[in-house]
């Protein structure tokens, strides 16, 4: 009888790409892949260490797995497992902790070919190619880069992911071709710091511009390609100009800001000032007026006084971006910011500032959508609403859209369809579209 195996991913797009790659190592000949909501013999949990909440979620997911099978074999992989394997192994229910290298040989451990050690403190940082596919998804996350050489004062990722390292361009091109041939309509290029792409074996072999230029020149057919988050100081004007003329890359940028106060950016050890961020946004808007521009902001960083928060708010309010992803500052052990004892906001202030910026983000997104009503777009339709009345998808510039189900539109799933943005549904903020004849 086949053993049942289930997977759960916490965190970023890169984790999803890696989970998918690791899941494919469990051959369908020997294992039955089931939903994490179901009974399984083996549960594999890909963890995250960015915030304390991510670590708490990891513990909750373990309890969820044990509630379905209290004798299940639970394997922990990912950033939290890499960062503190002994602590992760001490959590009730965890049977095996695999580090960054070991997780790609997971079958050897499951089958008992490897040593009986339950966790390994050794940290090796090789590069492993990964991409997500299947799982009823219409887009794929393709890993092009891993690790980070930056030392932002709040960030624990360099400790869990290691130094910046990249895949070969030839390998990335090959993976793009494979993914598109499998019927996937959109690929998201992902990594920890994709703008730093090009370091192989510690040496700078390529640049990010080399990569996007090679994709444009060598991919002859397929769907569309989207970039994940890219640092403002690494997003060069020549990149923006090139992407504005691309036949594959969509008009979508996610550029982390973190704070609209130069003082706080300095505390964070970010490598730019807000003036550079503003310059990038203006240049994108000049070349691609309807481009989606998202950003990340951290509230409640140590030293963020009311004055500095208002400075951030005012900067964001005037900034012509489409939405903001707000993180509440979470102190991570062994980071520079964790040693700061003064100027720390209490949790009520952090929550209030988070809410204020979320309201601003919603306002900006609605404004962004309203400005594009009655324009023509292309939607990749992905999934049905729970009541089966609508089919959901995203435009090339990342506007969430839906179309009412009928005998024809029900066939649109996993297809790119030319539409007109008709109106915003006040109930959920999603844009209702009409198919172009």
The residue length of the chain stands at 437
Confidence of residue 116 (pLDDT cuts 50, 70, 90): low
Confidence of residue 204 (pLDDT cuts 50, 70, 90): very high
Confidence of residue 118 (pLDDT cuts 50, 70, 90): confident
Q: What is the pLDDT of residue 340?
A: 86
DSSP 307-341: HHHHHHHHHHHHS--SEEEEEE----TTSGGGG--
Burial 370-403 (b: 16+ CB within 10 A, else e): eebeeeebbbbbbeeeeeeebbbbbbbbbbebbb
Q: What is the pLDDT of residue 124?
A: 77
31 or 50, which is more confident: 31
pLDDT tens per residue, range 63-103: 999 999 999 999 999 999 999 999 999 999 999 999 988 99
Q: What is the pLDDT of residue 201?
A: 87
- Residue closest to 130 by CA, chosen among 175, 192, 180: 175
pLDDT at 115 over 60: no
CATH architecture group of domain 3-110: 3-Layer(aba) Sandwich (3.40)
Domain chopping of the chain, boundaries: 3-110, 139-370, 376-435
Going by the DSSP 8-state scheme, the letter that residue 189 receives in this structure is E
Once rounded to an integer, what is the mean pLDDT over residues 166-180?
97
pLDDT at 273 over 60: yes
**DSSP helix, strand, coil percent of the chain (3-state; round to 5):** 35, 25, 40
Q: What is the pLDDT of residue 229?
A: 97
pLDDT tens per residue, range 213-265: 999 999 998 899 999 999 999 999 999 999 999 999 999 999 999 999 999 99
Give the Cα separation of 399 and 395 in Å (integer): 5
Check for a shared fold between 3-110 and 139-370. no
Do 14 and 146 touch, CB atoms closer than 8 A?
A: yes
Q: What is the pLDDT of residue 117?
A: 63
pTM flag (> 0.75): yes
- Third-level CATH fold of 139-370: pyruvate-formate lyase- activating enzyme (3.80.30)
pLDDT over 90, % of the chain = 84
CATH architecture group of domain 376-435: Beta Barrel (2.40)
């Amino acid at each position: 009888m086949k053993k049942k195996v289930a997977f759960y991913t916490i965190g970023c797009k890169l984790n999803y790409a890696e989970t998918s790659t690791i899941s494919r190592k469990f051959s369908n000949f020997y294992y039955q892949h089931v939903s994490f909501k179901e009974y399984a013999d083996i549960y594999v949990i890909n963890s995250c260490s960015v915030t304390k909440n991510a670590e708490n979620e990891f513990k909750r997911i373990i309890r969820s797995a044990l509630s379905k099978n209290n004798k299940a074999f639970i394997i922990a992989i990912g950033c939290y497992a890499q960062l503190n394997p002994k602590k992760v192994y001490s959590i009730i229910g965890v049977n095996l902790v695999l580090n960054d290298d070991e997780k790609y040989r997971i079958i050897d451990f499951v089958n008992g070919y490897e040593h009986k050690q339950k966790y390994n403190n050794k940290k090796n940082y090789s590069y492993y190619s990964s991409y997500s596919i299947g799982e009823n998804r219409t887009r794929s996350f393709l890993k092009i880069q891993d690790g980070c050489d930056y030392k932002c004062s709040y960030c624990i990722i360099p400790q869990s992911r290691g130094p910046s390292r990249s895949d070969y361009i030839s390998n990335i091109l090959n993976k793009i071709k494979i993914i598109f041939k499998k019927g996937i309509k959109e690929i998201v290029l992902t990594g920890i710091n994709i703008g730093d792409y090009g370091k192989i074996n510690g040496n700078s072999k390529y640049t990010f511009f080399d990569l996007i230029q090679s994709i444009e020149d060598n991919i002859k057919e397929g769907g569309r390609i989207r970039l994940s988050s890219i640092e403002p100081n690494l997003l060069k004007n020549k990149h923006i100009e090139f992407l504005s003329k691309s036949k594959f890359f969509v008009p979508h940028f996610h550029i982390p800001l973190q704070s609209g106060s130069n003082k706080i950016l300095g505390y964070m050890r970010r490598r730019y000032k807000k003036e550079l961020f503003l310059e990038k946004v203006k240049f994108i808007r000049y070349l691609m007026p309807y481009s989606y521009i998202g950003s990340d902001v951290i509230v409640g960083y140590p030293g963020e006084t009311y004055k500095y928060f208002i400075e951030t708010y005012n900067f964001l309010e005037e900034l012509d971006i489409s939405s903001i992803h707000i993180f509440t500052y979470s102190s991570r052990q062994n980071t520079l910011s964790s040693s700061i004892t003064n100027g720390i906001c209490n949790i009520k202030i952090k929550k209030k500032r988070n809410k204020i910026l979320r309201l601003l983000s919603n306002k900006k997104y609605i404004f962004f959508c309203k400005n594009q009503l009655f324009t023509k777009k292309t939607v990749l339709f992905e999934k049905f609403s729970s009541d089966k009345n609508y089919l959901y998808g995203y435009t090339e510039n990342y506007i969430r859209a839906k179309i009412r189900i009928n005998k024809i539109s029900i066939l649109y799933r996993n297809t790119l369809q030319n539409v007109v943005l008709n109106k915003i549904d006040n109930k959920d903020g999603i844009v209702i579209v009409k198919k172009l004849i």
